Structure 1
Amino acid sequence: MTSIVLVHGIFNYVRKATPDEAAARRVSDCRPRLAESLSKWAVDVPDMTMAYYADLLRRNAPGEPQSFQQPEGFDDLSAAERSEVAAWLAAAGADMPADPQNVGLAPLRQMLGWLVDERGGVLTAAVREQTIGRLERTLVANLREVEAYTTWPERRRLVRERVSGVIRREKPAVVIAHSLGAYVTYETLHAYPDLEVDLLVTVGSPLRVPALARRLEPALRAGRGAKPSGLARWVNIAGAGDLVAVPPKLGRVFPVDDDAVCDTGLGVHGFGGYLANGLLAAAITPYVT
């Protein structure tokens, strides 16, 4: 048994490693950042386990397309995917094209550049381009990994089975789910109502991104999500500048108990930044001491 189960998001595939080896490596990466925030409360880092599933997004069953490949940017997207990214950027505050029928032709890098200029402060030309490129890859990777997870039912089942197995075995007091992991964990807790979790903390969650919310299982009803029956308390933390967690307030759609927005800087979406945040430490401390 462990006190905390972590559920990772994008960019977590570990080549030439077994799932157990990859999980252990990712926990080692996360431990110092969580220690950073818990130290302010004089709390030691508890035992942690990672529910690792990134390898399952790269497997093929008969009839499936080639394994997921990490895309480079907007130029790799289909017209339908470009429309979804445009809606995503609009949810973050960028202006949409005047003609909604041409959303698939929206200048995505221009929309993203406007967000960087609006929220990023004064940047040099080189830093601005680096920021736009990093955010572009993050948005596309999120979209593609969600597609890898949602498009093929068997792959979706295997991921949820893997995550539920870790939670059932470890019986954690706390589950911390990041990025796509928040999406996966929400579905997993619904799919396995026997799972009991005292506290779920979702960070950098894309559950309200329009293109992703439409694919949820169970689907939203009357525009609202439902709380998994085995979940006692749900806390959501979103970075004010995290373009994956848009719109940031999950409580407007999902029954979260505490909905917080923190300052992580423009486009800062990494798991480590959230683990090191004082809001997360404050949320989990009563459950791990």
Structure 2
Amino acid sequence: MAEVVAVHGIWNRQPHRTPGQAAADLGVQWEGTLGAGYRDAGLHHLRAPRIAAAYYAHLLRDDGEQAGAPDPESLTSAEQRLLTEWALAHGMPQEVAQGPVTAMFEPTLSWVLRHTGGVGRRTAGLAARALREVRTYLGQQARREAAQDLVRDLLTEHTPTVAIGHSLGSVVLYESLWREPYPEVDLLVTLGSPLALPRGVFDLLDHGGLTVRGARPPGVKRWVNLAEAGDLIAVPRPLSDRFDGVDTDDVVHMAPVDCHTMGMYLSCGMVAAAIAPHLAAPDELTSSASGD
């Protein structure tokens, strides 16, 4: 059984693998990167935990649907609104987002990159790709429930101590933990999360009738949220401004380029340091920290 269930974020579609193969591959990959995180945290003597990956990307895209960033002409009105809310969360003035989407798409992305220290068109493309996947999940109830069912099946099968959600996966996991009967986990870790994005995400969440503020899911004992300083998806910050029950809400400084991948986050010592106390005996932690 896996000690950790982890839920991927955007841009993880693997069309040439079955969902089972994709999940297995992600689990192996993430165990390796989390092992690097354990070493980064000085926890060399501890075994990195086994990870069961929740793979749901195939549920959000139809066969034959074009991959890559959406063309401005193809954005739906809901995706246009999400783009605007995301940019406004970065501080963009309202006037930049005026006019038809074909006129404001490039200026909006360019403004965000200039004013946030973004690293170029790849980052903008990643943000644009997020639009369609986030809106598909939040706007199509059947797909939304199917993704949550998949996550909840893994939580039931493995009864993990730790549950990790990255990017859009933090939204899927958070909503899954709010469905009754509430799954119980000792630690919820959200990484690069857009949960607090007003109107575009937060106001569409299904979390027990909450409206003004979100909250830690009932079956979760502790909640840690981490966001890389250059992660453009994790806005607005801090998450605890909009959610009660976030025990730790920190910024990490790791990646000048690769700033929004699960691998980057799992290789970070801060993530390992948050997870390890829930999985290792106290004497094991002490031994590792002393270098014995």
After TM superposition, give the deviation of residue 281 of structure 1 in Å. 1.1
- d(CA) in 1 for partners of 2:279, 2:69: 40
Aligned to 1:62: none
Change (3 A) 1:36 1:213: same
Change (3 A) 1:92 1:103: farther
- d(CA) in 1 for partners of 2:109, 2:61: 28
After TM superposition, give the deviation of residue 222 of structure 1 in Å. 4.5
Check conservation: 1:208, 1:247, Cα contact below 8 A. Answer: yes
Aligned to 2:271: 280
Aligned to 1:123: none
Check conservation: 1:90, 1:96, Cα contact below 8 A. Answer: yes
Aligned to 2:251: 261
Deviations 1:138-157 (A, max 9, x none): 22222211222222222211
Within a 5 Å distance, the mapping from 1:97-112 to structure 2 comes to 97=95, 102=99, 107-112=104-109
SS in 2 for 1:137: helix
SS in 1 for 2:143: helix
Aligned to 1:245: 234
Aligned to 2:115: 118
Check conservation: 1:57, 1:67, Cα contact below 8 A. Answer: no
Within a 5 Å distance, the mapping from 1:163-242 to structure 2 comes to 163-210=151-198, 211-218=200-207, 221-242=210-231
Change (3 A) 1:276 1:8: same
Aligned-residue sequence identity (percent) comes to 37
- d(CA) in 2 for partners of 1:73, 1:135: 14
The runs of 5 or more residues in structure 1 that have no matched partner are: 60-65, 121-127
Choose 175-184 or 148-157, whichever is displaced more: 148-157
Aligned to 1:37: 37
Deviations 1:3-57 (A, max 9, x none): 1111101111222322221111112222222111101222221111101111222
- d(CA) in 2 for partners of 1:287, 1:102: 50
Check conservation: 2:30, 2:51, Cα contact below 8 A. Answer: no
Q: TM-score, normalised by structure 2?
A: 0.85
Check conservation: 1:237, 1:259, Cα contact below 8 A. Answer: yes
1:46 is the counterpart of 2:49: yes
Change (3 A) 1:74 1:16: closer
After TM superposition, give the deviation of residue 114 of structure 1 in Å. 3.2
Change (3 A) 1:184 1:288: same
Deviations 1:113-161 (A, max 9, x none): 23333343xxxxxxx8xx4422232222222112222222222111111
- d(CA) in 2 for partners of 1:145, 1:67: 15
After TM superposition, give the deviation of residue 106 of structure 1 in Å. 6.3
Change (3 A) 1:68 1:159: farther
Check conservation: 1:240, 1:266, Cα contact below 8 A. Answer: no
Aligned to 1:124: none
After TM superposition, give the deviation of residue 228 of structure 1 in Å. 1.3
1:138 is the counterpart of 2:126: yes
What RMSD over aligned residues (CA atoms) do the two structures have, in Å?
2.4
Check conservation: 1:168, 1:195, Cα contact below 8 A. Answer: yes
Aligned to 1:55: 58
Check conservation: 2:70, 2:132, Cα contact below 8 A. Answer: no
Deviations 1:200-242 (A, max 9, x none): 1000101012212222113773520122111111100011221
Choose 106-115 or 242-251, whichever is displaced more: 106-115
- d(CA) in 1 for partners of 2:14, 2:263: 17
Check conservation: 1:86, 1:103, Cα contact below 8 A. Answer: no
- d(CA) in 2 for partners of 1:135, 1:166: 31
Aligned to 1:14: 14
Change (3 A) 1:212 1:220: farther
Deviations 1:181-211 (A, max 9, x none): 1000110000133311100100010101221
